[in-house]
Structure formats: C-alpha cells, structure tokens
Chains A and B, each alone.
Chain A
Amino acid sequence: MTASVTIAAKPDLAGKRLAFALAEDRVGHYPEFRAFFAKSFDLDRIGLAEPGFVTAPSGLAYAFVFIGRSGEPFPAGVEIYAVVDALEPVEETTLDADLWAVLGWMIDGVGAPWTRDDLEATGRLYRIPAAAKAAGG
C-alpha cells in the first residue's frame, strides 16, 4: 500500500480494463476545482490527448478522463476509472476507500477555504464508511 494519492505515468494497459468509478458533469461548479485539475494534469498543454493517471493508496492506478463542452472552460467534467485486470471484478471496498483518498487529495490540492478537515467531518456526518474507517471507526 502506498500512503497517499500521487500523480503517475500512464501504466501498461495490456490485459487491463478501465472500470468506471465516479463521474462529475460540472467540475467547474466551483472554479478552483477545475483549476486544480488543469494544473495537476497540465491540461492546458495536454488537453484531450491523454487521460491523467494517479496511484491510490491500494496501489491501483486510476485514470482521469476529462470532458470538454463547447462554450465552457476546459475541463467541463471528469470521469474516474480504476485500472483493473480485464476480466476481474472490482473489489468495491478497495475502490471506495481509494475514491475517498482521491477526494482528500483533491481537496488538499484545491486548498483554502476547502480543507480536508471539513471533508472528513462531512463524511462522518453522512456516515460514509471510508470516512469512518479513516477516522479509526
């Protein structure tokens, strides 16, 4: 297990599939979130040419597929996929914990006034399993 979420090079996708995990139609609802992704994945240069990749705490790689929409700043949306063995089902608990870690990484990157403390408190309020686990619950 790696300790955190880190941006990674494109993994070898031979024998793998991209398993849908989470989608956001409106990544710029708060523009600082769009700016975070644009900066983190160098999207002003790369555009739609390649997905971005991260490695999550489980060791799995995740692809960030960015979506453009005419008339809106890029990216307009994003889809997150787990890179998994082609014919194997995803392990839901692992994926869930990884996504929670990705959200924490994103909030850290977006920065003030958004804080990981507020994310974790929100997760605990809504009884999100990965948030409870992260808090030792």
Chain B
Amino acid sequence: MNQAQSVLPEAARAAWPYAPRFARVNGWRMHYIDEGAGDPVLLLHGNPTWGYIYREFVGPIVASGRRVIVPDMIGFGLSEKPTREQAHSLDGHAANLTALVRRLDLRRITLVVHDWGGPTGLSFALANPERVRALVIMSTWAWPTPAEFHTRIFPWRMSHAPLVGPYIFGKYNGLTGRGMYLSVVDRERYRERAQAVYEATLPDPATRLLTWAWPRWIPLDAEARAHDRFVWLERELAKAQWPATIIWGREDDVFDHATFADRFKRLLPQAEGPHLVTGRHFLQEDSGPEIASLIVDFVDGLDRKGA
C-alpha cells in the first residue's frame, strides 16, 4: 500500500491507484502524481481539495495519449502542511508550482485550473508563457473584483474571521466537510464517495490552516494583500493568445457562470465555451467524466490544428 492509499478510506483506494511522487519545491515537500506519456496536462486543484478531485480525469486523459501531472498544493493533500499562516502567500504558491514545472521540465502544458488553482496557475502561466500550450478554466477568477458571495459576512467572511476561522474551519474542518457538501449538486453521492477522503488528508486542526488562510487572500478592496497581483493577472491575461476553453458548473452559486465564465470569455475571446455542466463550485465531483471528455476533445482539437 502506498502512502496515498494509507491515508485513504478503504473504499476510496480503487479510485486513486496512482504512485505518489514527491519533490522539493521552493523549500517545501510537494506530493504529485505523474501518469502516462505525451504532451502534459497539468491539473490544479483549489481550497480545500487535493489531487483526488481529479480522480475521474486521470484515466481518460492518459488513455488519450497524454501525460497527466496532478500536484497537491503545499498545505493540502499529501503535500507538506506548514503550521503558520505567514508561510502562505499567493505569489509563494505560484512559485511552488513554478519550481515543480521546472523540475519536471514540463513544456507544451495544457493547464487546467480550478478555484485557487486559477490565480496560482495563471500567475505561473503568465510568468512562464513559453511552457504553456493552452488553458482550461473552471470556477475561478483572475481580477480584483470579488464575487458577491465573498463580500458577505454571513456565511463567508464570518467563517474565516479572526479566531472564528481557526475554530470553524480548524477545529471542525468546516470547509472540507460541510462547506464542500453544500457546494456540490449530488450531495449524497459526495457524502458516500468523497467527503471522507478529503477529510482524511486534513485530520487535525493544525493541518487545516490553509482552509481559512486562503479565503483571507481574496481581495475585497484596493488595500488587500493580493490586490495588485489580481490587477496584473487581469491585465496580462487580456493579452494572452493561448487557446483556451471555459468549463463551468451550471449550478455554481459562488462563481456564478453568468458573471464569472462570461468575464473570462470577454478576457479571452478566443476561448471555447463556456461549456456548462452539472455542478456547483466543485463541479469535478458532479461531472468528472464529462469534463474529462471535454478536455480530451479540446486537446485533440489543438493537435488537429497543430497548435
């Protein structure tokens, strides 16, 4: 039994049979999987998930003749989990990813981003454009204007307020348990197949720090720590010429598609989509095989065009 499987509930092990790999990146120990051969597809998760959210993507994309790399963000999954909030920053996480990509010398990357995988992955892409072939964008954002949901005190800002975050998200794993449960469409299926797996990799309050630290990096005004990075992201992304596709959950009520997918479409007018699938914010849980198929079709199309 490998290290990943040893932390997974028995029922979930068949869904994640991949060999764990580890790399030192930017001073941290990062876990990732690396399956198949061909042009790389790099799948980036967000808060509070880990590579497991892409369990239904790996097989179909590898079978299509591509190499699939799925890292666990530092602070999640099987990667190292720093115990101080100051260990985390948006730029630092982008640098972690850059270190992994350089170590593996990945080129012609199709970059698949979700949630905080968006700002970190797109920061990497814009700083290392020669390594990127295309973008797949799902339920995320890349500009300094917050989602309306993120401006509300109930439930969002209260959930990670000083001391409240360490209590609700730390002591009670609120985001991984109840938060994700409320952010999928088929909640019973999520409870049966996935919830315990996400909870298993964040077993103690100290391991859950990033679940309340990430929300504090969402800029709510021009004074926010990451505001300037998001301004840069939006400005530079508007100049990007990469082929792209936008995939969104039809029922997403955090980053609603009418606001967010459409804004990405305006920013990247060359992008395909938005393709709407069944899903709230964690759309991979509701429509994994369908999204994997959309990604394979998209990359097949790039190959046909010689892109």
Q: Which A residues fall within an 8 A CB radius of B?
A: 22-30, 33-34, 78, 80, 96, 99-100, 102-103, 106-107, 113-115, 118-119, 121-123, 125-128
Contacts and interface: CB of A to CB of B under 8 A. Distances in A.
Looking at chain B's contact residues, the main secondary structure is helix
Given A114-B158, A118-B154, A126 B166 contact: no
A126 B178 contact: yes
Given A118-B158, A122-B159, A24 B174 contact: no
Given A22-B163, A22-B166, A23-B166, A121 B154 contact: yes
Interface residues of B, number: 26
B159 A126 contact: yes
B172 A128 contact: yes
B47 to A, nearest CB: 15
Contacts of B158: 114, 118-119, 122
B153 A24 contact: no
Contacts of B166: 22-24
B167 A122 contact: no
Contacts of B85: 25-26
A125 B178 contact: yes
B216 A119 contact: no
Given A24-B166, A33-B162, A114 B178 contact: no
Contacts of B155: 118, 121-122, 125-126
Nearest to B170: A22
A26 B162 contact: yes
Given A114-B161, A126-B179, A128-B174, A26 B153 contact: no
7 contacts: A29-B162, A103-B163, A114-B153, A125-B155, A126-B159, A126-B168, A126-B179
Contacts, number: 80
Contacts of B161: 29-30, 33, 107, 114
A127 B178 contact: yes
Contacts of A118: 153-155, 158
A96 B166 CA distance: 12
A27 B86 contact: no
A36 to B, nearest CB: 9
- The residue among B85, B165, B167 with the most chain A CB atoms within 10 A of its own CB is B167
B164 interface: yes
A27 B162 contact: yes
Given A99-B167, A122-B168, A125-B178, A30 B162 contact: yes
| Closest 4 A/B residue pairs (Cβ) | A25-B85, A126-B174, A118-B154, A33-B162
A16 B184 CA distance: 47
Contact of B164 (A80, A121, A122, A127): A122
A103 to B, nearest CB: 6
A103 B164 contact: yes
Contacts of B179: 126
B84 interface: yes
B154 A24 contact: no
A25 B86 contact: yes
Contacts of B174: 126, 128
Residue among A29, A30, A107, A115 with max Cβ neighbours from chain B (10 Å)? A29
Interface in B141-190: 153-155, 157-159, 161-168, 170-172, 174, 177-179, 182
Nearest to A34: B162
Interface in B168-216: 168, 170-172, 174, 177-179, 182, 216
A122 B154 contact: yes
A86 B164 CA distance: 27
Contacts of A26: 85, 162, 216
B162 A128 contact: no
Contact of B162 (A24, A99, A100, A127): A24
Given A122-B155, A122-B158, A127-B178, A29 B167 contact: no
